[in-house]
Amino acid sequence: MSGSPWLKDPGTDVRDALPPAAERNRSGRAGADPVGELAGRLDDFVAAAVHPDEVAALLESDGLTDEQIRRRYGHDDSFALAEDLYARVERRFPRTGDPPPGPGSPALLGCLLRGLLFTLPGLGHVLAAPVLAGGGTAHAPLLAAALAGWAWNQALAHRAYTWLGLGDRPAAARALLRGAPVGVVLGTAAAAAVAPAAPDHGPALLFAAGQSLYLAAATVLLVLGRERVLLAALLPLVGGALYTALQPMPGWAHPVLPLASVTAATGLAAGAVAGMLRPAGHGGRSRSRGRSRGRSRSRSRNGRGRAAPSGLGGSVPYGLFGLGSGVLVLHVALDNPPFAVALTLGMGPAEWLLHRFRADSLAGLRACTSPGAFRIAVGSALLRSLAGYLAVLPALMAASLLLWPGGADRPAPAAAAGALLLGAVLWTGLLLQAFGAVLSPAAVCCLAALVPLLLPGSGPLLAPAAASGVLVLLVCAQLGRITAHR
């Protein structure tokens, strides 16, 4: 699901601790030294900064405009005020705070669970295979529905995550309530558009509609943090797969078990959204509106309020990233299905390593005393995290090949290398997204997805190698800046 792995943006704690900006006294004049007073209030933050741009970023995120800065502090803009504050406060670099999450931490377990939840729905395709007529052509509607669902639900998840990051849970619930049905319609329509006009493809279309409904429900539950609830909804699939591995399953169970999981996930998602909307309704509505208006007026006076999310266009790049990365994974799935399973399951460790990189980069931000030293620290953190992910992924690929039902053909070395490089593409793309750089990974993944069409016979290495190289360079260029981590 798109959106930052840390919903609360990194500067929130600092901004929430800031007192209001200097207010004029009743005579209309500010204090004798408003810049000195501001430096005293921001002393701890400015003392730990390694560059004036960090202070400028904080001032801008606090809502100070250039006009307010000129009127209150006598400087032309936030950068001039930041340089003055930086010069007035002595450097004090505190020790690193909390250590990065360890291998046994709850964060790792939660990320691994999410990776498992991304993978388990594939059991539905295994169980329903006997009732899907048409051989390979039956998969076209399923693939089209999956791509449409991935793209739409990535954008929808970003929209909901944005509201959650602003602390407006009812608005997030409304976004999910309105957007999830649209995703179901789009997925079903995409399946119908590519399905051959033959009566025996009716089961495939019905399965694609159910798949779209499940993707929408799973998006809602994952965004709202209901991973364990979603896992419970998938138990019929897990039980059916285990039963099939031991003995043949009755014919009626092949469509019924996937339907049971879809129905359970849909009901649980509807209940989760309803539970978030209920406190905002009925008797509490007028009181909550009054409190909201009061907070809005208060925040508008001191410049501390956060703006509502931009229009729907802000979520489009996340959808494009979902579409491009989905096409790249499907290329792998069609040639080497076990590798696609490994990539999907690997999203759990990948997410944890995003948290690990975040913790390491913040530790470097606190410990380094110059921009150059900080760039080196970020580069080292990137190397450790990416190497860790690329060490886990081969193990998952080997396990998928070993456990594949009926055995799997030994893949070519180029195919295995291409899957590893695609893993690097996905991880670096998610890393850039987590830090707000959205357009570049979306564009790179979409262009890479077009390579097999534009250059037939290019092989499995060209697109992921080029895309991973570009994204690694973008990560080094963008995340080496101090202000990207505030």
Task: Annotate 289-337 with DSSP letters as a single string.
Answer: HHHHHHHHHHHHHHT-PPPPP--GGGGHHHHHHHHHHHHHHHHHHHH-H
- State residue 297's pLDDT score: 37
Look at residue 238 in the predicted model and tell me its pLDDT. Answer: 93
Residues of the chain with pLDDT under 70: 1-32, 61-63, 93-106, 133-138, 196-200, 279-311, 406-408, 486
Helices and strands per DSSP (H, E), number in the chain: 22, 0
Note the residue count of the chain: 486
- Of all helices (H) and strands (E), which one includes residue 133? none
Instruction: Supply 147's token pair.
Output: 């791509």
- 278: which DSSP letter? G
350 by Cβ neighbours in 10 Å (0-12 / 13-18 / 19+) ranks as: buried
Query: Which pTM was predicted?
Result: 0.75
Query: Which are the contacts of 402, defined by CB distance < 8 A and separation ≥ 6?
Result: none
Compute the C-alpha angle 47/478/115, nearest 5°. Answer: 105
Instruction: State the CB neighbour count (10 A cutoff) for residue 72.
Output: 19
Residue 444: in which H helix or E strand, if any?
Answer: helix 439-454
Q: What is the pLDDT of residue 450?
A: 93
Type of residue at 130: P
What pLDDT is stored for residue 303 in this prediction? 36
Q: Residues 471, 428: contact at Cβ < 8 Å?
A: yes
Distances (CA, A) of 296 to 124, 227, 301: 47, 33, 9
Using only C-alpha atoms, what is the Rg of the chain? 25
pLDDT at site 299: 37
Question: Token digits for 369?
Answer: 């005393």
- How much is the pLDDT for 117? 93
pLDDT for res 197:
56
Q: In 3D, which of 425, 433, 413, 435 has the Cα closest to residue 469? A: 425
